[in-house]
């Protein structure tokens, strides 16, 4: 196996929406810098937008006076039950329109409202696009901006400086096609490696194994890499559960907002606001927010399901009454979630005549949808209070280490456009950082490089030695495969940390037992075997998923209240408790001892 060492000024890990934004903007400000982007897949079709999207869910429309950044802060604050970093939300909102205008300039077809001449709205914040080719269009701009794109290289570890363990120095990884070991040395690193699926057991198992709403290749690298480098994390307990079309996981936004479809219980009753007063008793006046918060909509559905009044139906058949609407409904899935169209075809569902079942998904870990897990980052200097500002926008608590998109916590509802925008903000700040520190060059020791090389390829060694002990099949006395271990992880998280199999419910005793089981799984990771490079990639994705899961569990244990019903219920603390928990839950992992430290950070209101 060859070794390659790459020197650069700025290293971008992950070429999804945020990574592409970082690449574009870093080049704009850092004309002469050596900017490198590393992607485990192929940026033209990588990340959550690989399949395309049918809407851009974050657009203010400021040129038409549709919304202000302050409006957006109020919306996200209400939707997240009071807890968002208002400085980060505001910063996204004030810049996101310019991002969308760039997309249009680069060739993304955005749909116009013929009467107003504005972009056609799906909802207050969402606009409609013909988005099958969204990712290739965005990726082209990023590829033109950077010095070089390294496709098909999986980053496994972030590396810190030999003399300052809290200063980033680069990253290591391997070529998933040729097995080359890579050592990237960089003055600043921007992690944009997406969210996490398959932490919790998906609803689709067996014949549908692997199907999830969020991309199965969102493997928690953003969190696994950052936590391993000692970065402070926030809101990892803010798991996201989304209401989706059953089996195909088709999104619901276009149906509720653009097509104005209604969901009912099995007996035809519109249940969404039915439990408002019961919810108020537990969760306070957040129930009065408009729109009704995402987690409370889930909670209402959950109550119907618990009462046995399901299936829940989305009445597509009541709204597809014109050719235009029918096209919109079909294009929604053909652009973004083809599996739903396939489910319709294979289950004899014609949406014009038959309603579709809705169901709540398994939990995901993300920083860009109706949730805000991720790294604790500095905000912009002109907006952030001193508690939220330490020099460079979107820099984590590790010097020179930046993040964007799903990587960054505290700022929900970024979606694709906001993630690209946050990448731009991080890219610009990383250029400042490199220029301000032009005389310092972080170092990674050669010994460290050699140790990493051995560690990264160990699963292949495990396979080579251990396979001789197998007489039949895949059950080995000395190793386990990544796909066996991921099923074990999903089972632990589902049963102890509030997955769909436990009705999203957990308590302290369950969580403590879950921790014991997770610790045993962590010990067994030393015995993962990889038969080939593809399996080696699965092995490292698993590592990142397990670290992410540990953070989720520790955070869930620490927050002694139910803040987001419909996402997770602490049965031992069933109420929302603003007196004690109107705060961010943050954590720091100590890589030398393996201990987690959890603590509170203030949630400061900036917009009235």
Cα atoms found within 13 Å of the Cα of residue 377, Cβ hemisphere only: 39
Query: Out of 9, 87, 122, 490, which one is annotated catalytic?
Result: 122
**For residue 486, which of 244, 247, 196 has the smallest C-alpha distance?**
196
Q: Is 244 a catalytic residue?
A: yes
| b/e per residue 250-279 (b: at least 16 CB within 10 A) | bbbbbbbbbbebebbbeeeeebbeebeeeb
Distance CA 547, CA 225 (A): 9
Query: Among ligand SFD, ligand AMP, none, what binds residue 256 when CB lies within 5 to 8 Å by partner kind?
Result: ligand AMP
How many angstroms separate the CA atoms of 165 and 455, rounded? 20
By the rule CB under 6 A, 197 interacts with ligand SFD: no
Q: Decide if residue 256 touches ligand SFD (CB under 6 A).
A: no
Could you give the 3-state DSSP secondary structure of residue 558?
Answer: helix
| β partners of residue 13 | 38, 191
Nearest approach, Cβ of residue 285 and ligand AMP (Å) = 19
Is residue 257 close enough to count as binding ligand AMP by CB under 6 A? yes
Q: Among 54-62, 266-274, 312-320, 377-385, which window interacts with ligand SFD (CB under 6 A)?
A: 54-62
Q: Is 34 exposed, middle or buried (0-12, 13-18, 19+ CB in 10 A)?
A: middle
Tell me if 221 contacts ligand SFD by CB under 6 A: yes
494 is catalytic: no
Q: Which of 218, 235, 294, 371 binds ligand SFD (CB under 6 A)?
A: 218
- Kindly indicate which of the ranges 38-46, 86-94, 162-170, 314-322 contains the residues binding ligand SFD, using the contact rule CB under 6 A: 38-46
Identity of the residue, 510 or 536, whose beta carbon is nearer to ligand SFD in the bound complex: 536
Of 14, 82, 230, 514, which lies in the binding site for ligand SFD, with binding defined by CB under 6 A?
14
Catalytic residue (one of 369, 394, 544, 555): 369
Q: Is 214 in the site for ligand SFD (CB under 6 A)?
A: yes
Q: How far is Cα 478 from Cα 456, in angstroms, rounded to an integer?
A: 18
Among 15, 16, 224, 251, binds ligand AMP (CB under 6 A): 251
Query: Known catalytic residue: 29?
Result: no
Q: What are 256's two structure tokens?
A: 């509720």
122 carries an active-site annotation? yes
User: Residue with structure tokens 């990264």?
Assistant: 456
- Interface with ligand AMP (CB under 6 A), residue from 208, 291, 311, 574: 291
| CA 493 to the chain's CA centroid | 17
Q: Where are the beta strands (DSSP E) in 26-86?
A: 35-38, 55-56
Return the range that interacts with ligand AMP (CB under 6 A); candidates 85-93, 123-131, 523-531, 532-540. Answer: 123-131
CB-based contacts of 576: which residues, under 8 Å, 6+ apart? 81, 282, 283, 284, 286, 561, 562, 563, 565
Does 421 participate in binding ligand SFD (rule CB under 6 A)? no
Give me the phi and psi of 376, to 5 degrees please. -80, 120
Active site (annotated) includes residue 436: no
Our finding on whether 35 is near ligand AMP (CB under 6 A) is no
Select the span of 179-187, 216-224, 514-522, 580-588 touching ligand SFD (CB under 6 A).
216-224
Is residue 403 a contact point for ligand SFD (CB under 6 A)?
no
DSSP 371-399: ---EE-----TTT--GGG-SSSTTB-SSB
Q: Which of 8, 37, 226, 336 binds ligand SFD (CB under 6 A)?
A: 336
Does position 61 interact with ligand AMP (CB under 6 A)? The reply is: no
| Joined tokens for residue 202 | 């998906």
Q: Has 369 been annotated as catalytic?
A: yes
213 is catalytic: yes
Tell me which of 46, 54, 57, 204 is the catalytic residue.
57
Q: Pick the catalytic residue: 393, 416, 419, 587?
A: 416
Binding partner selected for residue 291 from ligand AMP, ligand SFD, none, CB under the kind-specific 5 to 8 Å limit: ligand AMP
Q: What is the DSSP string of 127-193?
A: EEB--TTHHHHHHHHHHHHSSEEE-SEEEEEEEE-SS-TTBEEEEEEEETTT--EEEEEEEEEEE--
Q: Retrieve residue 413's tokens.
A: 């509802």
First to last CA, the chain: 58
What is the crossing angle of helices 134-145 and 86-105, to 10°? 90
Distance from C-alpha of 350 to C-alpha of 212, rounded to nearest angstrom? 23
Rounded CA separation 63/551 (Å): 41
Contact status: 542 vs ligand AMP (CB under 6 A): no
Nearest CB to ligand SFD, comparing residues 38 and 480: 38
Report if residue 111 touches ligand AMP, rule: CB under 6 A: no
Contact between 16 and ligand SFD by CB under 6 A: the answer reads yes
From ligand AMP, ligand SFD, none, which one binds at residue 90 (CB under 5 to 8 Å depending on kind)? none
92 near ligand AMP, judged by CB under 6 A: no
Q: What is the contact surface with ligand SFD in residues (CB under 6 A)? A: 13-19, 38-41, 46-49, 53-57, 154-155, 192-194, 213-215, 217-219, 221, 251, 253, 336-337, 368-369, 405-406, 415-417, 419
Q: Name the residues that contact ligand AMP, by CB under 6 A.
A: 57, 123, 125-126, 242, 251-253, 256-257, 291, 294, 297, 370
């Amino acid at each position: 196996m060859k070794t390659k060492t790459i020197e650069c000024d700025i290293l971008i890990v992950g070429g999804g929406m945020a990574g592409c934004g970082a690449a574009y903007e870093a080049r704009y400000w850092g004309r002469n810098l050596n900017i490198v982007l590393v992607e485990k897949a192929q940026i033209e079709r990588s990340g959550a937008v690989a399949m395309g999207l049918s809407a851009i869910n974050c657009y203010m429309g400021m040129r038409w006076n549709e919304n202000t950044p302050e409006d957006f802060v109020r919306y996200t604050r209400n939707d997240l039950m009071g807890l968002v970093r208002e400085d980060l939300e505001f910063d996204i909102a004030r810049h996101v329109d310019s991002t969308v205008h760039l997309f249009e300039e680069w060739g993304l077809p955005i749909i116009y409202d013929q009467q107003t001449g504005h972009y056609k709205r799906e909802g207050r914040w969402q606009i409609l696009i013909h988005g099958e080719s969204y990712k290739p269009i965005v990726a082209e701009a990023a590829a033109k901006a950077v010095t070089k794109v390294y496709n098909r290289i999986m980053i496994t570890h972030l590396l810190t400086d030999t003399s300052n363990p809290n200063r980033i120095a680069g990253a290591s990884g391997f070529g998933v096609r040729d097995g080359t070991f890579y050592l990237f040395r960089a003055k600043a690193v921007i992690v944009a490696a997406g969210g996490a699926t398959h932490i919790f057991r998906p609803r689709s198992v067996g014949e549908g194994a692997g199907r999830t709403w969020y991309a199965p290749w969102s493997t928690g690298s953003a969190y696994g890499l950052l936590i391993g480098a000692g970065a402070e994390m926030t809101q990892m307990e803010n798991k996201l559960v989304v209401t989706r079309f059953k089996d195909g996981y088709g999104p619901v936004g276009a149906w509720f907002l653009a097509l104005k479809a209604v969901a009912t219980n099995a007996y035809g009753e519109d249940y969404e606001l039915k439990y408002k007063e019961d919810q108020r008793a537990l969760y306070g006046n957040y129930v009065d927010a408009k729109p009704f918060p995402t987690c409370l909509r889930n909670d209402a559905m959950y109550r119907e399901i618990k009462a046995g009044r399901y299936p829940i139906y989305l009445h597509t058949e009541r709204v597809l009454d014109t050719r235009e609407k029918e096209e919109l409904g079909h294009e929604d899935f053909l652009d973004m979630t083809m599996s739903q169209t396939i489910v319709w075809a294979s289950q004899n569902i014609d949406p014009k005549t038959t309603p579709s079942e809705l169901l709540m998904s398994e939990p995901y870990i993300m920083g860009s949808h109706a949730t805000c897990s991720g790294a604790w980052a500095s905000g912009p200097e002109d907006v952030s209070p001193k508690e939220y500002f330490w020099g460079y926008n979107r820099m984590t608590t590790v010097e020179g280490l930046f993040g964007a998109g799903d990587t960054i916590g505290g700022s929900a509802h970024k979606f694709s456009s906001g993630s690209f925008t946050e990448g731009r903000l991080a890219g610009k700040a990383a250029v400042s950082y490199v220029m301000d520190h032009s005389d310092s060059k972080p170092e990674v020791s050669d010994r460290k490089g050699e140790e990493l090389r051995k560690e990264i390829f160990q699963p292949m060694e495990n396979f080579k030695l251990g396979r001789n002990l197998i007489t039949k099949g895949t059950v080995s006395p000395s190793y386990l495969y990544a796909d066996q271990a991921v099923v074990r992880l999903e089972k632990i998280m589902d049963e102890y940390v509030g997955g769909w199999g436990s009705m999203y419910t957990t308590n302290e005793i369950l969580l403590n037992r879950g921790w014991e089981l997770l610790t045993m799984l962590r010990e067994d990771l030393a015995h993962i075997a990889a038969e080939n490079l593809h399996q080696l990639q699965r092995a490292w994705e698993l590592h990142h998923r397990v670290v992410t899961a540990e953070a989720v569990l520790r955070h869930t244990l620490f927050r002694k209240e139910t803040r987001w019903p419909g996402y997770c219920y602490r049965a031992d603390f069933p109420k929302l408790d603003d007196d004690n928990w109107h705060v961010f839950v943050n954590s720091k992992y100590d890589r030398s001892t393996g201990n987690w430290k959890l603590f509170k950070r203030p949630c400061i209101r900036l917009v009235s």
